[in-house]
């Protein structure tokens, strides 16, 4: 862990934005000159693809549009079903609805909180078109088993990774999350480890056909409405890409700090009350947030209130403590019609406690925070 904090944003991001603003001739978007986008977008895409050892990266306006276009690129249409997890942000499921398809919820593993392949198998029907796993809180899914499901000849099922929370994590066979199957979608929103100026996203693929279809879908059919299918304006701007390119160079350092902070919290927090989110033995998690479940009877609300009084919960990225997902997304009004029995997920949301108060800190700061989190827990339960 660094003895000196690495600023989340600094002079390099400022210079990158100024460089875009001072271009002659001006170019803040660039798609009207080149269907592949401006020079910053193209440079960022090359860097993302190289980082993940994939053939293509396709930048888009945000993580939700990345999911939406990824599903469309795989051919998801009205009447299809997409299996996903109930433990995720709502966009994972609403992107399915945006395609006119039906979200089908499978349960999760009680230790990793990730999509359970055995539960997925019980949800497959003739209408299943895609499995959409989420690498939750920087912990990659069991992609080996999910790939085995899609390789079953009796089905015609694709995989789309939702990698919004796990940029830089390592998963199946040592490859980076987001490069574990044919297609992935990632968010660069402000709450993520790195951001392209508050919003942004991208997709990764090794497929020539998918990359071309994604580029058309994000940009009015590349040549502006000549495409035979509905296309959109889901483009990333030059300023977003310029910021993202700088942030990508900081990603590995930020992830290292997060892993070290998670390990420290796992050692410091009282084991009688806190159980950390586990990861599969062949993966390299980043722990985007430090996720724990608490023992029955632990007074979560009192604990958070005490930490808030001490200034450890300011409600901004890098300075918050919370209950995590307080309900499954199946319980959102829009998604209630698609509810299915997921007892493990429904029990977990009653016991979550997630820490986002150690990101971008020095070793000394993180140690002091960990000691405070431990001491307050012991006081609350005394």
Residue 154 has pLDDT above 60, yes or no: yes
Q: What confidence tens digit (pLDDT) does each residue in 323-356 have?
A: 999 999 999 999 999 999 999 999 999 999 999 9
At 277, list the tokens. Answer: 């989110």
Q: What confidence tens digit (pLDDT) does each residue in 262-275 have?
A: 999 999 999 999 99
The mean pLDDT value of the chain amounts to: 94
pLDDT of residue 8: 87
Asked if CATH classification 3.90.1150.10 holds for the domain at 251-380, the reply, yes or no, is yes
Residue 365 has pLDDT above 80, yes or no: yes
Residue 146 has pLDDT above 90, yes or no: yes
How much is the average pLDDT of 144-165?
95
Q: What is the CATH number of domain 11-248?
A: 3.40.640.10
Q: What confidence tens digit (pLDDT) does each residue in 70-105 have?
A: 999 999 999 999 999 999 999 999 999 999 999 999
Domain ranges of the chain: 11-248, 251-380
């Amino acid at each position: 862990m660094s003895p000196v904090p690495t600023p989340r944003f600094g002079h390099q991001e400022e210079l990158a934005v100024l460089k875009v603003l001072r271009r002659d001739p001006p170019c803040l978007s660039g798609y009207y000159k080149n269907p592949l986008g401006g020079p910053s977008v193209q440079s960022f895409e090359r860097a993302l693809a190289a980082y993940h050892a994939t053939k293509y990266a396709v930048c888009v306006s945000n993580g939700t549009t990345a999911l939406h276009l990824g599903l469309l690129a795989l051919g998801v249409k009205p009447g299809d079903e997409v299996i996903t997890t109930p433990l995720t942000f709502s966009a994972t499921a609403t992107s399915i609805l945006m395609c006119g398809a039906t979200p089908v919820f499978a349960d999760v593993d009680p230790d990793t909180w990730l999509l359970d392949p055995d539960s997925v198998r019980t949800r497959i029907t003739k209408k299943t078109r895609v499995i959409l796993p989420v690498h939750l809180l920087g912990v990659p899914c069991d992609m080996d088993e999910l790939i085995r499901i899609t390789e079953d000849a009796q089905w015609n099922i694709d995989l789309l990774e939702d990698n919004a929370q796990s940029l830089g994590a390592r998963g199946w066979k040592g490859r980076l999350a987001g490069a574990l199957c044919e297609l992935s979608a990632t968010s660069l929103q402000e709450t993520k480890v790195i951001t392209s100026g508050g919003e942004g996203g991208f997709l990764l693929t090794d497929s020539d056909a998918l990359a071309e279809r994604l580029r058309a879908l994000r940009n009015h059919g590349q040549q502006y409405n000549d495409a035979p299918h509905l296309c959109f304006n889901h483009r990333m701007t030059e300023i977003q890409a310029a910021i993202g390119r700088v942030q990508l160079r900081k990603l590995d350092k930020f992830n290292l700090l997060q892993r070290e902070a998670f390990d420290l919290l796992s050692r410091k927090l009282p084991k009688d009350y806190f159980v950390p989110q586990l990861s599969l033995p062949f993966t390299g998690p980043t722990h985007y947030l430090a996720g724990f479940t608490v023992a029955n009877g632990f007074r979560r609300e009192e604990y958070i209130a005490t930490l808030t009084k001490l200034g450890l919960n300011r409600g901004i990225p890098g300075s918050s403590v919370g209950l995590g997902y307080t309900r499954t997304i199946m319980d959102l009004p829009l998604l209630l019609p698609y509810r299915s029995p997921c007892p493990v997920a429904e029990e977990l949301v009653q016991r979550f406690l997630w820490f986002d108060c150690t990101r971008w800190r020095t070793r000394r700061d993180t140690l002091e925070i960990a000691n405070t989190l431990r001491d307050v827990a012991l006081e609350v339960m005394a």
